[in-house]
Structure 1
Amino acid sequence: MNGLARIARPRASPRLHCTVLTTVDQLAAFAPQWQALARTDTTHCSLFATYDYVLLAWRHLHSADDRLFVIVVSDGTAPVGVVPLAICPSRRWGMKVRVMRFIAQQEGDRPGIVSAGEPASIWLAAFEALLAHRAHWDLLQLAELDQDDWPVTNLGGFGRGIFGRVEADTSVASIDLRSAWADYLASRSRNTRKNYRRKLAQLDRRHPEWRIETATEPAAVERALNRYIAIEQQSWKASSPVGVAKDARHASFYRDLLGLLATRGEARISILTSGSTDMAGSIQMIWRDTVLDRHIAHARQYDADSVGSVLGAEVIRQHFGSGRTTLDLMGLAVGHPKRLQVEEWSTTTRITRRVTLFNLRSRVAPIACAVAARRAIRGTPLAWSGTP
């Protein structure tokens, strides 16, 4: 919504109630029910909202001051939804701010929630719990929501004393795998096809022995991950705060995660190699009928050989005819320099949204008022829930 408005906050069904899990032991006790809910939710639940992923992300990536805040929504005694959040203090605007966010927001992609029924009812109940515990958080940031998710479409309904805004977050590109590779390639632009064939021919000339080795078994995935990390350390990512092995915590997280997924046949690591030299690598995860193209890297000494581009295209080709329906190229920030390059290969793109809520009864109230004033001066649409 635009401008200032007072809106009656919708209420959750009286049958729904929330429990907040704040310890790892509580998560472990609830694990069987969480896993059962994820199996039931075949429409909305992502890999990044599952118990196993959330637990590993928490164990490996949380900071000392972070606190679990996992909301379980129940209908009577039966759990019907999970909203996996954490309170993560960080320095913003020259002060420590208690930020509530998805646990999987660091390394996940579109984390989301688990819902046995209509997600809107789960969100609504969860927000009542968040408002009831508003003394514990200053800022709520929900990343990579779809434009029809309840927090996006109901920005004005959070109640008195909450300032909210919605912004474009990431561009999500995906490929429909249900056709043949030849038909899909023919549907790409002439320029995309020409560049692909040129890079493929160039690699054939310079490295005629090149091949792609793909690991799927647990022991092979472990070895391939070591090779991938070695490639990443020779890539531009080595000097940037991104990547699988950007620090020891993240490397350990991915070892445990990919090891677990490999036992289920849900992990693939592809290495482009020539002779005994590894030049590029790709990490993919499988979630139901979707391939998540999670990470890719190439050694910088092979920049001129376009090994990353060739590997990316060959990974796409390999998944046609696999029985899976979608290859998710994962999200890139809106404005990312490689966004258009990725979208050349996609059959569907969409923009996700980031919802930020300022708790006006906390230390960030002056910041929220400044943001609102600046937007009003600029004539930028803003959303305000309740009265500051």
Structure 2
Amino acid sequence: MLRVLEINQLEDLSHVRCNWQRLWDSTPSATFFQTLEWLQIYWKHFGEGKQLRVLLVLDDHRLVGVVPLVVVHESTRLGRVRVLTYPLSDWGTHFGVLAEDPKATLCRALQHINNTPRNWDLMDLRWLDENDLERSTTFDAMSDAGFSPNPGVWKETALIDFEGTWEDYLRSRSPKLRAEVRRKLKKFDATGRIQLQRYRPLGKEANDCDPRWDLYRTATQIAERSWQGHSTTGTTISHRNIRSYIKDCHVAATQLGMLDLAILYLEERPIGFCYNYTFKGQVFGLRRGDTPEAREHGLGTLLTAMLIRDSFDRGDTTLDMGPGSFEAKRRWMTRIATVGRMTHYPLNAPRAQILRLKHWWQSRLDRKSGRLRTALEGKATS
């Protein structure tokens, strides 16, 4: 029989590091953000005011699943609401449990949540990938644990699937983009005036974990010269509010063999960068930028094209370009993927019930626009 051990202090997780990694390795869609290393960095920089609830699911004494949860305080028009959710905070697009049997693991973890004092007003499991939605993993687990899951859309993200060859992909693009890419590659790439340096270390276990701070500094300098240097969101890699977080992640990703950093040079001058994380053939684009000189020559297009071409050569499977700015990404992406959410609104939490009405209305709009997958139709509770 499965049992749950709840951990509320991050330092108490140190003894499960090897088993956490074992479960990460056995979870097909696991990302950098589901590593224990990332959780430690996240908690160091953003843990203040939050409560950690990491649920370790054991079969006898063997760890068979990890469900990292956090209680965060979020501001709404109704006031502050305590939300029980995953600890991703939109740094990535997907999150979930690490487990040999994800549905059984999540169900047992949520039974534990249901049987313990409630320190949250709203359960909102966000950042669910399309496999989770199609297989009803979270929906069924929440239902079996005694909750009432309400499916919805958290975000949408632009994806490129690396199927076939680079030439196959290029032929699938619009005639205008195809002609532009080929013309610029001929003008710059073939003459040697432009080069793409892509750094992807194998990690500590392979004795290949040089952080290459020279490349990192180059990327941040380009970011400061791009639109990101004037951004006020505080989420660009050059922004002082998150600089230390990004640097800690840089070290961790390098040691784990999950860093993917590309710099574009024009006649040996760095003019563009793509800062990514990579895992099991999947690439997640965290940030990118280019200099005014690159924009003057229209080399932003070439940076994207050369990165995609290189991913085909490396045998990558997907590139997640992230949510938003779909007009700029539309000519590159092969599809838009739904990032889902499953929400439970306790009956004895008045603010949660009002939010339920708001989310219900939004889900109706999502269905009307086609954003909510057909597979979820009929599963929303009234």
Count residues in correspondence.
Answer: 361
1:349-364 pair list within 5 angstroms: 349-362=336-349, 364=351
1:136 corresponds to which residue? Answer: 119
In structure 2, relative to structure 1, the CA distance for the partners of 1:66 and 1:187 (3 Å cut) is same
Alignment TM-score, normalising by the size of structure 1 = 0.80
Shift of residue 169, structure 1, vs aligned partner: 2.0
In structure 2, relative to structure 1, the CA distance for the partners of 1:169 and 1:134 (3 Å cut) is farther
CA distance in structure 1 between the aligned counterparts of 2:363 and 2:91, rounded to whole angstroms: 35
Check if 1:307 corresponds to 2:299.
Answer: yes
CA distance in structure 1 between the aligned counterparts of 2:52 and 2:266, rounded to whole angstroms: 46
Check if 1:49 corresponds to 2:29.
Answer: no
1:274 corresponds to which residue? Answer: 266
2:169 corresponds to which residue? Answer: 184
Check if 1:26 corresponds to 2:12.
Answer: yes
Q: Which runs of 5+ in 1 are unaligned?
A: 1-14
2:105 corresponds to which residue? Answer: 122
Among residues 200, 213, 220, which one is paired with 1:229 in the alignment?
220
Among residues 96, 116, 132, which one is paired with 1:112 in the alignment?
96
| Percent identity (aligned) | 20
1:214-225 pair list within 5 angstroms: 214-216=198-200, 218-219=209-210, 221-225=212-216
Check if 1:93 corresponds to 2:85.
Answer: no
Contact 1:284/1:295 (CA < 8 Å) preserved in 2?
yes
1:232-247 pair list within 5 angstroms: 232-238=223-229, 239-241=231-233, 243-245=235-237, 247=239
CA distance in structure 2 between the aligned counterparts of 1:382 and 1:248, rounded to whole angstroms: 46
Q: Deviations over 1:179-224 (max 9, x none)?
A: 332333233332331232345467679x983322333455463211
Indicate the larger mover: 371-380 or 23-32: 371-380
CA distance in structure 2 between the aligned counterparts of 1:155 and 1:247, rounded to whole angstroms: 38
Shift of residue 114, structure 1, vs aligned partner: 0.4
CA distance in structure 2 between the aligned counterparts of 1:384 and 1:264, rounded to whole angstroms: 39
In structure 2, relative to structure 1, the CA distance for the partners of 1:274 and 1:155 (3 Å cut) is same
Q: Deviations over 1:150-190 (max 9, x none)?
A: 22466766636x5734225213413225x332333233332
Paired AA for residue 329 in structure 2: V
Shift of residue 242, structure 1, vs aligned partner: 5.5
SS at match of 1:320: helix
Q: Deviations over 1:45-98 (max 9, x none)?
A: 332212122222222233x21111111111222111111111111222242211
1:10 corresponds to which residue? Answer: none
1:318 corresponds to which residue? Answer: 310
Paired AA for residue 250 in structure 2: L
In structure 2, relative to structure 1, the CA distance for the partners of 1:168 and 1:55 (3 Å cut) is closer
CA distance in structure 2 between the aligned counterparts of 1:89 and 1:171, rounded to whole angstroms: 25
Indicate the larger mover: 278-287 or 209-218: 209-218
Contact 1:98/1:139 (CA < 8 Å) preserved in 2?
yes
Contact 2:155/2:340 (CA < 8 Å) preserved in 1?
yes
1:195 corresponds to which residue? Answer: 180
Shift of residue 341, structure 1, vs aligned partner: 4.3
CA distance in structure 1 between the aligned counterparts of 2:233 and 2:363, rounded to whole angstroms: 35
In structure 2, relative to structure 1, the CA distance for the partners of 1:84 and 1:220 (3 Å cut) is closer
Q: Deviations over 1:304-338 (max 9, x none)?
A: 4332221111011112232x341322431xxx3x3
CA distance in structure 2 between the aligned counterparts of 1:360 and 1:306, rounded to whole angstroms: 55
SS at match of 2:91: coil
SS at match of 2:283: strand
CA distance in structure 1 between the aligned counterparts of 2:187 and 2:232, rounded to whole angstroms: 29
CA distance in structure 1 between the aligned counterparts of 2:253 and 2:166, rounded to whole angstroms: 27
SS at match of 1:81: strand
In structure 2, relative to structure 1, the CA distance for the partners of 1:341 and 1:369 (3 Å cut) is closer
Which structure carries more relative contact order (alpha carbon 8 Å, separation 6+)? 1
CA distance in structure 1 between the aligned counterparts of 2:222 and 2:62, rounded to whole angstroms: 47
CA distance in structure 1 between the aligned counterparts of 2:75 and 2:46, rounded to whole angstroms: 18
SS at match of 1:263: helix
